[in-house]
């Protein structure tokens, strides 16, 4: 029987390999689950952050409108809008509490900017807000009929448009960063799942090889044990038969030979067993004793004066030694 391909696990490591495979699988599932939960939670916070960054655009437009109303003598609390704008921007810049809903006072804790590009956009927005408020104060102090009033208004409108543009850029950067997190999660979880599958296939294959190796060892051991047991039984049989012939009287020799042939034939599971005696020339033999299984016709009378040259197959087998020979 051809031995199977050997496994590097070894036949004694199957249990440990299965335990390792199970452990890796459980840890991978736990890691994927934890990563997914964390990403989803961050995604919720990212959504809030994107909303607040988007609100900065609305507040910038609102601030411009309120400044225009104030310049016309219409009551407008642009300072409150300015405060909301700067407080939210500070929270976006450094992380910390921010007002989510001004009416209910609901607060949310923001994280610092996730990228240098977003930080630069927020810094630029902060600079533009400070410049806008400075020019807004100058514009409000200038009389509407003053020659420089129109120039100040044009500059203020251009600055507000630039402020809205930068705020819009920050929103896009936040949205892209949030989408990248989801994409990264999909990539890493797919990669982890692929590696676990590959590892599982590898371990499963090695376990299969180890099982085949173990099965082969068991079969080989069983074959050797069977052969040894058969050899011992033959030796015991021959010993018992030899013992019977030691103190045997001449008158009982034929009967004992027949009994020995029966024992040998029964042990070998054959239909017949014989004793042949060769003539002195070694070319002719005669059947002197025969045992036949129940229902088998005796051939003793026909097996006399047999010439070896007439039965070459028997001569070859006899010379090769697979027969029991008692002399």
Higher pLDDT, 22 or 118: 118
pLDDT band at 91; cut points 50, 70, 90: very high
- Three-state SS sequence of the chain: CCCCCCCCCCCCCHHHHHHHHHHHHHHHHHHHHHHHHHHHHHHHHHHHHHHHHHHHHHHHHHHHHHHHHHHCCCCCCHHHHHHHHHHHHHHHHHCEEEEEECCCCEEEEECCCCCHHHHHHHHHHHHHHHHHHHHHHHHHHCCCCCCCHHHHHHHHHHHHHHHHHHHHHHHHHHHHHHHHHHHHHHHHHHHHHHHHHHHHHHHHHHHHHHHHHHHHHHHHHHHHHHHHHHHHHHHHHHHHHHHHHHCCCHHHHHHHHHHHHHHHHHHHCCCEEEEEEECCCCCEEEEEEEEECCCCCCCHHHCCCEEHHHCHHHHHHHHHCCCCCCC
Say what the pLDDT of residue 13 is. Answer: 59
| 59-63, 97-101, 145-149, 274-278: range with lowest mean pLDDT | 145-149
pLDDT band at 20; cut points 50, 70, 90: confident
Residue 326 predicted with pLDDT over 60? no
Residue 48 predicted with pLDDT over 80? yes
Cβ pair 95, 119 in contact under 8 A: no
Higher pLDDT, 18 or 287: 287
* % of the chain exceeding 90 in pLDDT: 23
Task: State the span(s) of the chain assigned CATH 1.20.120.
Answer: 14-213
Say what the pLDDT of residue 289 is. Answer: 92
pLDDT band at 213; cut points 50, 70, 90: confident
Single pTM value for the model: 0.55
The answer for residues whose C-beta is within 8 angstroms of residue 148's C-beta and 6 or more apart is 142
Distances in Å between the Cα of 139 and the Cα atoms of 108, 186, 248 are 35, 52, 143
- CA dist 94 and 75 (Å) reads 33
Residue 102 predicted with pLDDT over 50? yes
Say what the pLDDT of residue 92 is. Answer: 92
Residue 196 predicted with pLDDT over 90? no
Say what the pLDDT of residue 187 is. Answer: 83
Burial class of residue 75 in the structure, from the number of CB atoms within 10 Å of its CB (0-12 exposed, 13-18 middle, 19+ buried): exposed
What CATH architecture applies to the domain 14-213? Up-down Bundle (1.20)
pLDDT tens digit sequence for 252-298:
888 888 898 999 888 888 898 888 888 888 788 899 999 998 888 99
Our CA angle for 88, 154, 135, nearest 5°, is 50
pLDDT tens digit sequence for 219-251:
999 999 988 998 898 888 888 888 888 877 888
Say what the pLDDT of residue 8 is. Answer: 47
């Amino acid at each position: 029987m051809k031995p199977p391909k050997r496994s590097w696990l070894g036949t004694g490591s199957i249990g440990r390999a299965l335990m390792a495979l199970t452990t890796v699988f459980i840890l991978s599932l736990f890691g994927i689950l934890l990563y997914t939960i964390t990403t989803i939670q961050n995604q919720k916070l990212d959504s809030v952050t994107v909303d607040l960054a988007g609100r900065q655009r609305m507040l910038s437009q609102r601030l411009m409108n309120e400044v225009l109303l104030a310049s016309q003598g219409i009551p407008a609390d642009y300072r409150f809008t300015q405060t909301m704008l700067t407080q939210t921007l500070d929270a976006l810049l450094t992380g910390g509490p921010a007002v989510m809903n001004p009416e209910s006072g609901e607060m949310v804790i923001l994280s610092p900017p996730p990228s240098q590009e977003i930080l630069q956009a927020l810094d630029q927005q902060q600079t533009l807000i400070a410049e806008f408020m400075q020019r807004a104060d100058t514009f409000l102090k200038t009389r509407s009929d003053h020659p420089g009033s129109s120039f100040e208004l044009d500059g203020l409108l251009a600055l507000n448009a630039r402020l809205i543009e930068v705020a819009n850029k920050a929103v896009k950067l936040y949205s892209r960063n949030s989408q990248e997190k989801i994409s990264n999660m999909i990539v890493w979880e797919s990669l982890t799942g692929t590696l676990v599958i590959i590892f599982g296939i590898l371990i499963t294959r090695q376990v299969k090889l180890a099982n085949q190796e173990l099965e082969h060892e068991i079969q080989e051991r069983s074959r050797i044990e069977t052969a040894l047991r058969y050899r011992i039984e033959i030796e015991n049989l021959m010993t018992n038969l030899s013992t019977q012939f030691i103190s045997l009287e001449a008158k009982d020799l034929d009967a004992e030979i027949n009994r020995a042939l029966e024992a040998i034939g029964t042990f070998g599971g054959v239909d017949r067993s014989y004793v042949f005696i060769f003539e002195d020339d070694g070319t002719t033999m005669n059947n002197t004793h025969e045992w036949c299984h129940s229902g088998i016709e005796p051939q003793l009378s026909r097996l006399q004066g047999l010439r070896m040259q007439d039965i070459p197959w028997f001569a070859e087998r006899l010379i090769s030694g697979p027969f029991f020979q008692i002399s």
